[in-house]
Amino acid sequence: MMSPKLIELQHLKYLDLSLINFNGSQIPDFIGFLSNLRHLDLFVAYFGGRIPTQIGNLTHLQYLNLSYNNFANVENLNSWLPHLSALTYLDLTYNNLSNVPDWMEAVNKLPKLTNLSLSYCSLPSRLIHSSTLFNINSSKSLAHVNLRSNQLSFSSSSSIFVWLSKYNAGLVHLDLSENQIEGGIPQSFSGLCNQQELYLYNNTLSGQFSWLVQILMSACPDQNSLETLSLSKNHLSGSIPNLTNFSSLKELSLDDNQLSGTILESIGHMSTLEAIYLGMNALEGVVSKSHFSNLSRLRSLDMFNTSLSLSFSSNWSHPFQLEYIKLWSCKEGPHFPK
């Protein structure tokens, strides 16, 4: 149990009880009396029961991590979360929020929030009228948003994207993977000029991949900071266009889609690439040393289950040292680099 003696530490600003097994006990109500707390970390502390509304008294709190616990009731989220007006970091990963239809409004009331993680929370995908979201007086500070694996079912016109469009100019990391996003990418994504990591894998995105690239590049073609583009396990079709405008790209994950056509030699000029995943697509044509001419940082290469033909001489001096390579079903030979 958490000792009530903690109340005597009225000047306490930093409290980390992570990785301590509290065996399903409830967070005590007296936590709300530690009014000077700035940092509260209860990651994998195995608390249970309900989250006490008294947490809302911690108005100086900047960091709150309640992830990987066993709370039976988080339905009172809107009764305490909006009071934490100084909060910049919130992690509720692996807590069941299926009975919290107003989670989006609660989060939207945190004016200084920069980091939000609600992955594996069984979030309900209730549609919210856009005027509700835009009329709440909140800042546009969100930079890191993780909503992975919630089975959220929505399309490009849903309230999730309307909500995120408020923050797109400042978003650096966005993870919507392992949900049920249907259709194409909304035009609002064209404002993601500062985006460094975009994870949309394992959804049901459809349409031409080139159109998605055009949206991402349309607002800021010369200053794109994207480092990770993860679109694996979707239904994207068409060919792979010239991606050299993604001048900072380190990881390109397009495997398990419906892409076709050839791979342009221009990919060999993307010198920052460290990982390329193109397997399980209907790609064809010849891949030669020109496709890898400047990829000195490449560590992972996946082109398995495609119809690509590999044409290399046995004495080719490749510019990289691979740690992972997957070429199953490619047409290899008669030569292969030593």
pLDDT tens, residue by residue, 1-25: 888 999 999 999 999 999 999 999 9
| Model pTM score | 0.92
HSE value, Cβ hemisphere, 13 Å, CA-based, for 168: 20
DSSP bridge pairs for 205: 183
Whether residue 8 is contained in a domain is answered as yes
Whether residue 337 is contained in a domain is answered as no
Q: Which residue has the higher pLDDT, 83 or 220?
A: 83
Q: Which residue has the higher pLDDT, 193 or 138?
A: 193
What percentage of the chain reaches a pLDDT higher than 70? 93
Question: Quick one: pLDDT at residue 133?
Answer: 54
Average pLDDT (44-68) is 96
DSSP bridge pairs for 174: 145, 198
Question: Quick one: pLDDT at residue 59?
Answer: 97
pLDDT tens, residue by residue, 62-86: 999 999 998 988 989 999 999 999 9
Q: What is the mean pLDDT of the chain?
A: 90
Tell me the CATH number at 34.
3.80.10.10
Question: Quick one: pLDDT at residue 311?
Answer: 93
**What is the extent of the structural domain holding 21?**
4-332
Question: Quick one: pLDDT at residue 139?
Answer: 54
pLDDT tens, residue by residue, 260-300: 999 999 999 999 999 999 999 999 999 999 999 999 999 99
> 137: pLDDT confidence band, cut at 50, 70 and 90?
very low
Q: Which residue has the higher pLDDT, 191 or 207?
A: 207
Average pLDDT (181-188) is 82
Say whether pLDDT at 222 is over 70.
Answer: no
Question: Quick one: pLDDT at residue 216?
Answer: 86
Average pLDDT (138-159) is 81
> 135: pLDDT confidence band, cut at 50, 70 and 90?
low
Whether residue 262 is contained in a domain is answered as yes
Question: Quick one: pLDDT at residue 172?
Answer: 93
Q: Tell which residue, 323, 286, 326, 322, has the closest CA to residue 305.
A: 326
As a whole number of Å, the CA-based R_g of the chain is 24
Whether residue 168 is contained in a domain is answered as yes
Structural domain count, the chain: 1
Question: Quick one: pLDDT at residue 132?
Answer: 54
Q: Which residue has the higher pLDDT, 161 or 51?
A: 51
CA 140 – CA 171 distance, rounded (Å): 9
Amino acid identity at 232: S
Whether residue 266 is contained in a domain is answered as yes
Question: Quick one: pLDDT at residue 167?
Answer: 81
Say whether pLDDT at 48 is over 90.
Answer: yes
Amino acid identity at 309: S
Say whether pLDDT at 54 is over 70.
Answer: yes
Which of 37-46, 82-91, 191-200 is predicted with the least confidence, judged by mean pLDDT? 191-200
Select, from the ranges 133-142, 143-152, 235-244, the one with the highest average predicted confidence (pLDDT).
235-244
Say whether pLDDT at 176 is over 50.
Answer: yes
Average pLDDT (83-95) is 97
Strand, coil or helix: 161: helix
Question: Quick one: pLDDT at residue 223?
Answer: 60
Q: Which residue has the higher pLDDT, 224 or 138?
A: 224
Say whether pLDDT at 178 is over 90.
Answer: yes
Amino acid identity at 109: K
Question: Per residue in 178-200, is it b (16+ CB within 10 Å) or e — as a string?
Answer: bbebebbbbebbbbbbbbbbbbb
